[in-house]
Amino acid sequence: MIKFKCPCGADTYFDSVNCMSCGRTIGLNPNTWAFEFIKERSHPDIEKSQGRAAICNNGFEYGVCNWIQEPDSQNGLCLACSFNRYIPRLDTQENISRWRVLELAKRRLLFNSLRLNIRWSSGWVLPNGGLLFDFLEDSRTSTEIDPSEFVSTGYSDGVITINLLEADPAQRAAQKTANNEVYRTVLGHMRHESGHYIWDLLHSENSRRESFKHTFGDLEQNYHEALTDFYSNGQSPEWAENYITPYASAHPVEDWAEMWGHFLHIIDGLETAKEHHLIGTDSNQMSMREKLAAWQDLTIKLNEMNRSMGRNDLYPFVICEPVVQKFEYIDELISGL
Ligand SMILES: [Zn+2]
Ligand SMILES: [Zn+2]
Ligand SMILES: [Zn+2]
């Protein structure tokens, strides 16, 4: 992530809503990648009508967003919030807090994409090929919902669904333990599921299907059988020789989504490291192998720092040679878009 400044000149952060130096309310313009002053307590409609930066209505009304409205927005939303289809019930402060966690991760995903010159359209603008988000509850977070209605976090047909319970640290930790995972975050979900979406956009070209098959394996493998097999029998014992995570070994499509998620982790991580002078070279100037070498060097140090604080490793993954080649494939694909 790049570093930001308040218009007053002080350092500020991606999720800032106030400047810690001048105290003014600020909002991020995702089109200029810069923060702007927002007039506090003035309704966004008034600000917009006066030609001034207006905060997204989800920020003004619920405090869940710090981006400014798109200039042509009909409903007073920012770029990121315009991708929403279903949001949670907002009758409890707890749900608003959980929603805030999901929105922050979604904004980071979309901002990372903009930095990679990938600008997605929402499903409202582009009914065929656009992206939408559903943030849904089931009976695990709401007693009013029928226990038979189970909401899975996942992707289907242009829609990323995140179960609201992923925004709850205790629930997320329980899921992580149940699945025997070393890493589970809302941002990780967003990045993984966006991999399914981007593959939907890319796979129609035959040439890509061939190169994909060469790198990831046969897409025609029955997805539901493969996943059922993974969940009933577990990963293959040799998963670590070919895959970034056990789950990636379930099916080539899941391998792609896991790899895409990690690609975004690494690109964002290296950008943050460069901006804060932890590495000297801009990762845009590096080959994928150089990026991975820089990442490995950096994460060994950061893992040790985490251990010094009694925390789990920041990046608890090992990148083996077949995985390096998959990263190279993704890097090449993205640079050709
Ligand atoms: Zn300031
Ligand atoms: Zn917004
Ligand atoms: Zn997946």
pLDDT digits (tens, 9 = 90+) for 162-181: 999 999 999 999 999 998 89
Q: What CA dihedral angle connects 288, 279, 66 and 167, to 10 degrees? A: 70
Among all ligands shown, which has an atom nearest to the Cα of 8? 1
Q: What is the pLDDT of residue 115?
A: 94
- Ligand 3 centre to CA of 197 (Å) is 10
Higher-pLDDT residue of 204 and 123 is 123
- Ligand 3 centre to CA of 19 (Å) is 38
- Ligand 3 centre to CA of 168 (Å) is 21
Q: What is the pLDDT of residue 116?
A: 93
Among all ligands shown, which has an atom nearest to the Cα of 102? 2
Provide the token pair at 302: 């950061």
The percent of residues in the chain predicted with pLDDT above 90, rounded, is 83
- Ligand 2 centre to CA of 32 (Å) is 15
Task: Report the SS3 class of residue 85.
Answer: strand
Among all ligands shown, which has an atom nearest to the Cα of 133? 2
Residue with tokens 């992530």: 1
* pLDDT winner (highest mean) among 4-8, 137-141, 209-213: 4-8
**Distance between CA atoms of 246 and 218, rounded to whole angstroms?**
18
| Number of residues assigned to the chain | 337
Task: Report the SS3 class of residue 12.
Answer: strand
Q: What is the pLDDT of residue 160?
A: 98
The neighbour count for residue 11, using CB atoms within 10 Å, is 12
Q: What is the pLDDT of residue 23?
A: 96
193-248 pLDDT, tens digit per residue, is 999 999 998 887 777 888 899 999 998 899 999 999 999 998 888 999 999 999 99
- Ligand 1 centre to CA of 35 (Å) is 10
- Ligand 2 centre to CA of 7 (Å) is 20
Q: Which amino acid is at 94?
A: E
Mean pLDDT on 277-285:
95
- Ligand 3 centre to CA of 324 (Å) is 20
Q: How confident is the model at residue 143 (pLDDT cuts 50, 70, 90)?
A: confident
Provide the token pair at 334: 């993205």
Per the prediction, the chain carries an average pLDDT of 94
Residues, beta carbon < 5 Å, ion ligand 2: 56, 58, 65, 67, 78, 81
- DSSP string computed for 301-326: HHHHHHHHTTPPPSS-----HHHHHH
24-60 pLDDT, tens digit per residue, is 999 999 999 999 999 988 899 998 888 888 999 999 9
- Beta strands at 132-136 and 34-37: parallel, antiparallel or unpaired: unpaired
- The answer to whether residues 229 and 295 touch, using CB atoms and an 8 Å cutoff, is no
Quick one: which of 190, 318, 293, 184 has its CA closest to 242? 318
Q: What is the pLDDT of residue 139?
A: 82
Mean pLDDT on 89-114:
96
Among all ligands shown, which has an atom nearest to the Cα of 12? 1
In degrees, rounded to 5, the angle at the alpha carbon of residue 230 between the alpha carbons of residues 154 and 184 is 45
Beta bridge partners of 69: 78
Q: What is the pLDDT of residue 210?
A: 87
Q: How confident is the model at residue 303 (pLDDT cuts 50, 70, 90)?
A: very high
Q: What is the pLDDT of residue 337?
A: 75
Per-residue buried b or exposed e for 57-66, using 16+ beta carbons within 10 Å of the residue's own CB = bbbbebebbb
- The answer to whether residues 82 and 69 touch, using CB atoms and an 8 Å cutoff, is no
- Ligand 2 centre to CA of 15 (Å) is 12
Q: What is the pLDDT of residue 151?
A: 87
- The answer to whether residues 151 and 136 touch, using CB atoms and an 8 Å cutoff, is yes
Number of helices followed by number of strands (H, E) in the chain: 10, 8
pLDDT > 90? residue 140: no
Q: What is the pLDDT of residue 25?
A: 96
**Distance between CA atoms of 65 and 106, rounded to whole angstroms?**
10
- Ligand 1 centre to CA of 253 (Å) is 45
Q: What is the pLDDT of residue 264?
A: 98
